[in-house]
Chains A and B, each alone.
Chain A
Amino acid sequence: MCASHLSAYVEKRIGNNMRNYKMIKGRRRIGIAVSGGKDSQVMMHAMRKLIGKDRRRELIAITVDEGIRGYRDKSIECVVKYAELLGIEHHIFSFNDFAVQMDALMNKGRTDPCSYCGVFRRWILNKASRELSLDALAIGHNLDDVVQTLQLNIMRNEPLRIARFTPNGGVFNDRMFVPRIRPMFNIPEKEIIVYALIKSIPFHNGECPYAGHALRNPVREFINDMESKYPGIKFRMLNSYLSLLNHLNFPALRDNSILRCSSCGEPSSSKICKRCSFLNSAISHS
């Protein structure tokens, strides 16, 4: 496929996904979670191109600063410049204000940084989205992310997480939750990076210094190895997952039983949310 066809194909699929999954229907203020990596920068570029001229809608970019020196500061520079170039309102929320900075946490000898970081980041993104009155928040998950997450959730015995990880979020209908949309869920990571190179979209291609600890790494390697040997595996995994989603029927999803964290008041599946429980354990170990 040539450069112009690949670009058009990527944009067409993002547009089709938003339309087919009703990702922005009836939603006015659309947030874009942007880290400065290739996926989110491409998503910001494409969404600006596809819906930027729609006067009924506003695009607002959000970045979470986890406090990882030499990594996140560089990627934030990319977002700030590119959001300004595209004319998109941009807000940065820091771990410093809501959690424990990752560098500080790792200095205390933690060995599971990705669990902490993921929980804190999701908590901040939801709270920030609500404070900014967003109707939906777009996340730059690509095909590779989706199939890796599916595999990880199977390996961790997390069926409820499988059911919640949908292209157009909002499984729980709760006013405290801002639904997440994934306009690039069926686009291979490789095509996204090629699109970024073709369109000269600036992005930070660095690796998180703490990512070496993640179980995702061997899972990624395994799936890539399978894809090389049996092309089409990733799409077949995605299609299995989408078919499966229609049949997942958990009581927790049916009852819509969301609690409020007794510490922070945010939505939670238990009395104390994961963020507060992590925060308490981080403080008690300091």
Chain B
Amino acid sequence: MQVFVDGEEMRAEAICSLKSKTKVQHFLECIGMNRESVIVKANGRILTENDCINPGDRIDLIRVSSGG
């Protein structure tokens, strides 16, 4: 699974350990991100917390809070 945060690839052990279909909410907990602070896209589609992601998906995380 490839995970990008605002376009930059994220490398974390937790990502490698996800071998099966996982709920977005659980995925965010695994990588230590607050669900309030990111939008999750899988293969270009915006997901809700109850959607699932698959091991082969390209995951894009878009930080909600930016600016100053």
> Is A208 part of the binding interface, using a Cβ–Cβ cutoff of 8 Å?
yes
Q: Which label, helix, strand, loop or mixed, suits the secondary structure of the B interface?
A: loop
**Are the C-beta atoms of A197 and B62 separated by less than 8 Å?**
yes
A185-198 vs B, CB cutoff 8 Å, 1 = contact: the mask equals: 00001100110011
Which residues of A190-239 have CB atoms within 8 Å of chain B's CB atoms? Answer: 190, 193-194, 197-198, 204-208, 210-211, 214, 220-221, 224-225, 227-228
Contacts of B66 in A (CB 8 A): 37-38, 204-207
Q: Which of A38, A190, A194, A197 contacts B36, CB < 8 Å?
A: A190
Q: Which residue of A lies closest to B6 (CB)?
A: A205
Query: A78: shortest Cβ distance to chain B, in Å?
Result: 12
- A224-B37 contact in complex given A189-B65, A211-B68, C-beta closer than 8 Å: yes
A-B interface contact total, Cβ < 8 Å: 48
Contacts of B39 in A (CB 8 A): 190, 193-194, 197
**Are the C-beta atoms of B62 and A193 separated by less than 8 Å?**
yes
Which residues of B35-56 have CB atoms within 8 Å of chain A's CB atoms? Answer: 35-37, 39, 46
Contacts of A3 in B (CB 8 A): 46
Interface residues on chain A, number (Cβ under 8 Å): 28
**Are the C-beta atoms of A224 and B36 separated by less than 8 Å?**
yes
Give the CA-CA distance A116 to B16 in the complex, in Å: 44
Q: Which residue of A lies closest to B36 (CB)?
A: A224
Give the CA-CA distance A144 to B6 in the complex, in Å: 20
**Are the C-beta atoms of B6 and A197 separated by less than 8 Å?**
no
Query: A61: shortest Cβ distance to chain B, in Å?
Result: 17
Give the CA-CA distance A37 to B67 in the complex, in Å: 7
Q: Contact residues of B with A, CB < 8 Å?
A: 6, 34-37, 39, 46, 62-68
